[in-house]
Amino acid sequence: MLFDPTGVLGQELHVSAHDIHVKVDRPDKYVALIKAENQRMVVKASLIPDSLYDRRGIDHLQPTGLPLPIVVKEVHGSPHILVLTWIRGEKMTMMSPHDARMEAGRALRKIHSVDPSEFFEQHQWRDRLRSSLDHELEWWLMNGGTKEAVDGVHGYLGTVWGDLKHRGHHTVLGDARGEHFLVSEGHLSGIIDMGEVWVGDPIMDFAGIAVRDPLLFFSILEGYAPSPDEFSAILRFMPLYVLLRRLAAAHWCQLFADPKDAEIFLQPINLENPTDWTSRTYVGDMFSKETQAVCRRARGHWVMGAASIA
């Protein structure tokens, strides 16, 4: 165990061993739900900067008024410890109430509209993207990917590389996925896990949702209400970001979960013709047709004056 919550928090928060329900227990990271004296809290501890970044992300997004965790206690040191309020709710899926899914789309729009310069340095998005992609492609080559497939990805990347220099200047969640949007009583009740809030491309957030629940992505996109220019950008760059998120998710499964689950994320990539990424991607015709339908439905309620992701 990275640290003992009863020793660090027990006296101040009256926490005993039977109050602690461990969710993550790794040598470098610890997450637990604490139920004590009719209150619930989440405690995070890490040797890597996860919990420190979580605090930074919460602070950065607090002005939006969105339902985020509140910091109860922070202990600087090794490990860094963060105690947060617990937010009631079930993870969002396509089966969640329609109103909640629309609210998630509007919440994502708010997040992408936050000025990223207040807390974060501007980084070169293309450089960060290329570094991440190269890292995941190297892993893929050692885990079932072929040189032909990797060459095909590089060829596809060349078709969009020039336009990527105009992207990567918005606040993004970074680790957007359905389970980080919580639903209670038919509405969005919370957004959790702010550890990867950073400057980036909003379309990457859509990709994070889509690789785990494509239908939820389409629904959240409708609530987001993309403009025609935003819609064109989504169609152009989504395949690249979905590829990266699939590889990253598979890599994570191999490291921290059941390695067999990695195949769930890799299978759609492995089934594609790797040498024809420009004209046909594994996102498929369904993505293009359904996204266009979503955008047509959304045109009646665009968020006028909001930051554009195009």
User: Would you kindly state where each structural domain of the chain is located, as residue ranges?
Assistant: 5-85, 90-301
Residue 246 clears pLDDT 80, i.e. is over it: yes
Residue 187 clears pLDDT 90, i.e. is over it: yes
Alpha carbon distance, N-terminus to C-terminus of the chain: 45
Q: Which band of pLDDT confidence, cut at 50, 70 and 90, is reported for residue 126?
A: confident
Give dist(CA 283, CA 289) in Å, integer.
11
Radius of gyration of the chain (CA): 20
Percentage with pLDDT > 90 across the chain? 42
Q: In the block, which residue shows the tokens 């152009």?
A: 236
pLDDT higher at 277 or 62: 62
pLDDT higher at 38 or 85: 85
Out of 27-31, 118-122, 194-198, which region has the weakest mean confidence (pLDDT)?
Answer: 118-122
pLDDT of amino acid 152: 82
Distance of CA 55 to the CA centre of its chain: 16
CATH code at 5-85: 3.30.200.20
pLDDT of amino acid 69: 97
Q: Determine how many CB atoms are found less than 10 A away from the CB of residue 173.
A: 27
Out of 11-20, 99-108, 131-140, which region has the weakest mean confidence (pLDDT)?
Answer: 11-20
pTM of the full structure: 0.86
Q: Which tens digit of pLDDT belongs to each residue from 66-88?
A: 999 999 988 888 888 899 999 99
pLDDT higher at 22 or 122: 22
Out of 97-106, 142-151, 182-191, which region has the weakest mean confidence (pLDDT)?
Answer: 142-151
Identify the CATH assignment for 90-301 out of 3.90.1200.10, 3.40.50.11890, 3.30.420.40, 3.40.190.10: 3.90.1200.10
pLDDT of amino acid 5: 67
